Amino acid sequence: MMLLLFLLSVLPADAARISDVTETSALEQAVRFFTFRDPSLRLALAGSLLLGVSCGLLGAFLVVRRMALVGDTLSHAVLPGVALGFLWNMTKDPLAIFTGACVAGLLGTMVVGWITRTTKLKEDAALGLVLAVFFGAGLVLMGMIQRLPMASKSGLDKCLFGQAAALGGGDVKLMAVTTAATILLLSVFYKEFLVASFDVAFARTIGMPVRLLHGALMMLLAAAVVVALQAVGVMLVSAMLITPAATAYLLTDRMHRMLVLSALFGLCSGAMGAFFSFLGSNLPTGPCMVLAASALFAGAFLFAPRHGLVVRWWRRRSRNLQVARENTLKAIFHVIEAGGFSREGVALEELAARRRCTVDEAQREVLALVADRLATMDKARRVVHATPEGWRKAQAMVRNHRLWELYLTNRANFRADHVHDDAEEMEHLLDEETVRLLERRLDFPERDPHGREIPKVIGGGGGER
Amino acid sequence: MTPALETHDLTVAYHKRPVLYGVDLAVPPGHLVGIMGPNGAGKTTLIKAVMGIVPPVSGWVKIFGEPASRALGRVGYVPQRESVDWDFPVNVMDVVLMGRYGRLGLGRRVGAKEREIARACLEKVGMLPLADRQIANLSGGQQQRVFLARALAQESDLYLMDEPFAGVDATTEAAIVTLLQELKARGKTILVVHHDLTSAQQYFDMLLLVNLRVVAFGDTAEVFTEELLQKTYGGRLTILSKIAQEVKNQG
């Protein structure tokens, strides 16, 4: 925020465009970026940060209200308004363009509502229709303007793909105003927006001005889209609404945190977009921002603490490893049980036969146990001993298995020959508390449905979580 | 005595097709009323019209003698569970606190007092241990309890509930019934959209039979007759009326 204030306080009256800069090396460009000496750069960066924040905040509401496509349509629908705003007095007057674009955007959303109310078309079709018509009209008008013989039109064509460097002082001031209004409204009426987004019918019954709230959200949205237009471009502004919000949605399940994160991601995307656009000597800013935002999204998609792909894969992997470990321990128990508990060591060959695998595989499994101090192996004699901890775990697994088999046959009326496979799964999942419950329900049984003894586990144990 | 809920000639239409005709109703306070009727009979519509969610074509609604729009603060509402997105980023506490929003006024923030009330309501439905849980990680029965707690937090005199028993487990159903009885004992009026004929007699002391119009309204003993149920559900649902008869015979 301080940075923004600083950037805004030094707004020059008439900013030169970055594109005037002659070709320089990427390093020099980077140094120039971080010294903030270039006034037009300061403007571009301030604008990018502002639009990141406002788009992030509003996008969060769009995403949770399942209105992402509304943002897309709205952003395309403003284009004819931009053109008409320019034609109003043939200059790039920010206020005229802002007004024209807002009117066009709101008109677009109203037409969508009107179509869905009066025909049997659903909202997605209506959104698609409106997007196409308004965008087409906008492109035609823009084409006409391009052919007009005047200099003042320069920069207007940036509306399609965005060029933050083309931002003027007036544009950035407008952005600051809309962003401030967004932050203010959303924080003062947070609970109203929250309940109207979660349960609109309920919100109406407790006297929330639902229509007004919706209208306010649409107005803010239109304003945010319009001010973002020059920097990001019509084509991609919706991505700035959706991507940071979608990223935040993956990372948290509380709305207020999602808002903060979304604004933060928007801010980062804005800054990164402006930086890379500058670094590449005037690459279009919009695509750079969107790529930055998408990179953040990809990061969250892969590494989010609870739902991330990598994290989920890792969790599955360690689960499988644990199940394998527990099965090996169980096999050791079974071999020793078959021998009437008369000895303590188990030969690798016996283990392999029991596990129905090769001796090499059995050795690998045992080495994993050794690494976890659950077993020891006499390398010369190729004999495995469970450590006390390992033995306890093995007992717990067998106990869980047999308890569950007993529960299924006695309480759930499964046939005794139907319960083994299910117990193979469940033995790894039962925690100590459930085991106690099962024991109580089954009146502390001693034998499983097949007549084998259910081991007593000394000192607790069982499936680790 | 002023009726808790009164409607006069209430007619509602969707896309110009009437779904509820000329409902005249006067629900005395302090009763637990079951709203019953076949699918598409307008039960939900009736509740939504009373709550001002769908505008009526004609007629009026009065709540405790006042026009509905002015008295909605005295009404608690439990919508159907499917009416919201359960992936929404809020936890159980957040949802229950929404029951207090109406009383807080625009722009006012939730404070310690609201949290205290919300906690008490969660306690009543047995959901306090799950207060911090994200709502997506709840069972159907738990979700219904959260909605109920939210309505309790409204501290209303009249409650309208849309199928609170739909898709909930037996434990939750029993807990909800106990809660409803308790509310009634405290003089509250509760209207519940209900589907199960077999339990209707046991749960409610008054019944409202609806099928696009009011078929019958009165004490359960008087209304729960084969003739009136037949009239409500139509000849095609003979199985239902048979069930109803069986239940009646069982007493």
Domains of chain B: 5-250 (3.40.50.300)
Question: What tens digit of pLDDT does each residue of A76-133 get?
Answer: 999 999 889 888 878 777 788 888 988 998 899 899 999 998 888 989 999 999 999 9
**Option in B51, B73, B84 nearest A198 (CB):** B84
- Give the pair of three-digit tokens for residue A452: 């084998």
Question: What tens digit of pLDDT does each residue of B221-250 get?
Answer: 888 888 888 888 875 545 544 555 566 566
**Option in B83, B98, B154 nearest A201 (CB):** B83
**Option in B91, B95, B101 nearest A206 (CB):** B101
Interchain pair B77, A205: CB under 8 A: yes
Smallest CA–CA separation between A258 and chain B, in Å?
8
Chain A residue whose CA is closest to B74: A206
**Option in B88, B99, B107 nearest A188 (CB):** B107
Interchain pair A205, B98: CB under 8 A: no
**Option in A194, A199, A258 nearest B79 (CB):** A199
Looking at residue A218, what DSSP letter applies? H
> Which positions in chain A touch B106 (Cβ < 8 Å)?
189, 192, 209
Q: What is the distance between the alpha carbons of residues A291 and A161, in angstroms, rounded to a whole number? A: 13
Mean pLDDT of B105-125: 91
Chain B residue whose CA is closest to A66: B85
Cα-to-chain-centroid distance, residue B9: 21
Mean pLDDT of A421-437: 83
Mean pLDDT lowest for which of A61-75, A130-144, A159-173, B120-134? A159-173
* Best A184, A202, A208, A254 residue to mutate vs chain B (most B CBs within 10 Å): A202
Predicted confidence at residue A230, as pLDDT, reads 79
Sheet holding B5-14, edge to edge: B17-27, B5-14, B58-63, B66-67
Looking at residue A341, what DSSP letter applies? T
- Give the pair of three-digit tokens for residue B200: 């209707």
Predicted confidence at residue A465, as pLDDT, reads 36
Contact A288/B at CB under 8 A = no
Residues A85 and A100 sit within 8 Å (Cβ to Cβ): yes
Q: Is the dihedral of CA B124, B127, B128, B132 positive or negative?
A: negative
Smallest CA–CA separation between B109 and chain A, in Å?
7
Predicted confidence at residue A275, as pLDDT, reads 86
Question: What tens digit of pLDDT does each residue of B26-51 get?
Answer: 999 999 999 998 887 888 999 999 98
Q: What is the distance between the alpha carbons of residues A273 and B104, in angstroms, rounded to a whole number? A: 42
Question: What tens digit of pLDDT does each residue of A379-424 get?
Answer: 777 888 888 888 888 888 888 888 888 888 887 778 777 778 888 8
Looking at residue A148, what DSSP letter applies? S
Whole-Å CA distances, B180 to A188, B185, B190: 36, 9, 7
Supply φ then ψ for residue A452, to 5 degrees.
Answer: -90, 155
Residues B97 and B118 sit within 8 Å (Cβ to Cβ): yes
CA dihedral B46, B52, B58, B64 (to 10 degrees): 80
Q: Which of residues 21-80 of A touch B (CB under 8 A)?
A: 64, 66
Chain B residue whose CA is closest to A184: B107
Which residues does B contribute to its contact with A (CB < 8 Å)? 48, 51-53, 72-73, 75, 77, 79, 83-85, 88-91, 94-95, 98-99, 101-102, 104, 106-107, 109-110, 134, 136, 150, 154
Better pLDDT: A158 or B174: B174
Mean pLDDT of A35-57: 86
Question: What tens digit of pLDDT does each residue of A7-43 get?
Answer: 444 444 333 444 444 455 777 777 777 777 777 788 8
| Closest alpha carbon to B4 in B53, B66, B56, B47 | B66
Contact A192/B at CB under 8 A = yes
Interchain pair A191, B52: CB under 8 A: no
Count CB pairs under 8 A between chains A and B: 83
Mean pLDDT lowest for which of A97-101, A159-163, A253-257? A159-163
Name the 3-class secondary structure at A430: coil
Q: What is the distance between the alpha carbons of residues A55 and A268, in angstroms, rounded to a whole number? A: 12
Mean pLDDT of A326-347: 84
Q: Which of residues 379-438 of A touch B (CB under 8 A)?
A: none
Interchain pair B106, A192: CB under 8 A: yes
> Which positions in chain A touch B48 (Cβ < 8 Å)?
201
CB atoms within 10 A of CB B64: 17
Q: What is the distance between the alpha carbons of residues A206 and A101, in angstroms, rounded to a whole number? A: 34
Q: List B27's β-bridge partners, or say none.
A: B5
Instruction: Write down the H helix ranges in A339-459.
Output: 348-355, 359-371, 388-410, 420-426, 432-441
Residues 6+ apart with CB under 8 A from A313: none
Q: Chain-wide mean pLDDT for chain B? A: 87
> Which positions in chain A touch B90 (Cβ < 8 Å)?
194, 198, 253-255
Q: List B58's β-bridge partners, or say none.
A: B11
Chain B residue whose CA is closest to A250: B89
C-alpha atoms less than 13 angstroms from C-alpha of A451 in its C-beta half-sphere: 0
Report all structural domains of chain A as residue ranges with CATH numbers, in order of start: 2-13+24-307 (1.10.3470.10), 311-386 (1.10.10.10)
Interchain pair B101, A201: CB under 8 A: no
> Which positions in chain B touch A192 (Cβ < 8 Å)?
101, 106-107
| Closest alpha carbon to A373 in A398, A348, A390, A351 | A390
> Which positions in chain A touch B79 (Cβ < 8 Å)?
199, 201-202
Interchain pair B52, A205: CB under 8 A: yes
Mean pLDDT of A153-173: 77
A395 burial class (0-12, 13-18, 19+ CB within 10 angstroms)?
buried
Cα-to-chain-centroid distance, residue A157: 33
Better pLDDT: A443 or A111: A111
Question: What tens digit of pLDDT does each residue of A133-160 get?
Answer: 999 999 999 888 888 877 666 667 777 7
* Best A62, A188, A199 residue to mutate vs chain B (most B CBs within 10 Å): A199
Contact A202/B at CB under 8 A = yes
Smallest CA–CA separation between A20 and chain B, in Å?
46
Give A173-176's long-range contacts (Cβ < 8 A, gap of 24+). Answer: A173/A8, A173/A11, A174/A94, A174/A95, A174/A98, A174/A227, A175/A46, A175/A47, A175/A50, A175/A51, A175/A54, A175/A227, A175/A228, A176/A4, A176/A8, A176/A46, A176/A50
What was the ipTM of the complex prediction? Answer: 0.88
Mean pLDDT of A172-183: 92
Chain B residue whose CA is closest to A195: B98
Smallest CA–CA separation between A134 and chain B, in Å?
28
Looking up tokens 């007092």 gives B113
Interchain pair A254, B90: CB under 8 A: yes
Smallest CA–CA separation between A193 and chain B, in Å?
10
Interchain pair A205, B75: CB under 8 A: yes
Cα-to-chain-centroid distance, residue A134: 31
Predicted confidence at residue A153, as pLDDT, reads 62
Smallest CA–CA separation between A186 and chain B, in Å?
10
Chain A residue whose CA is closest to B95: A195
Mean pLDDT of A224-235: 84
Mean pLDDT lowest for which of A259-268, A308-317, A425-434, B122-131? A425-434
Interchain pair B109, A191: CB under 8 A: yes
* Best B106, B133, B152, B159 residue to mutate vs chain A (most A CBs within 10 Å): B106
Chain A residue whose CA is closest to B154: A206
**Option in A189, A207, A254 nearest B89 (CB):** A254
Q: What is the distance between the alpha carbons of residues A434 and A412, in angstroms, rounded to a whole number? A: 16
Residues A169 and A43 sit within 8 Å (Cβ to Cβ): yes
Decide if pLDDT at A446 tops 70: yes
**Quick one: which H or E segment has residue A243?**
helix A237-251
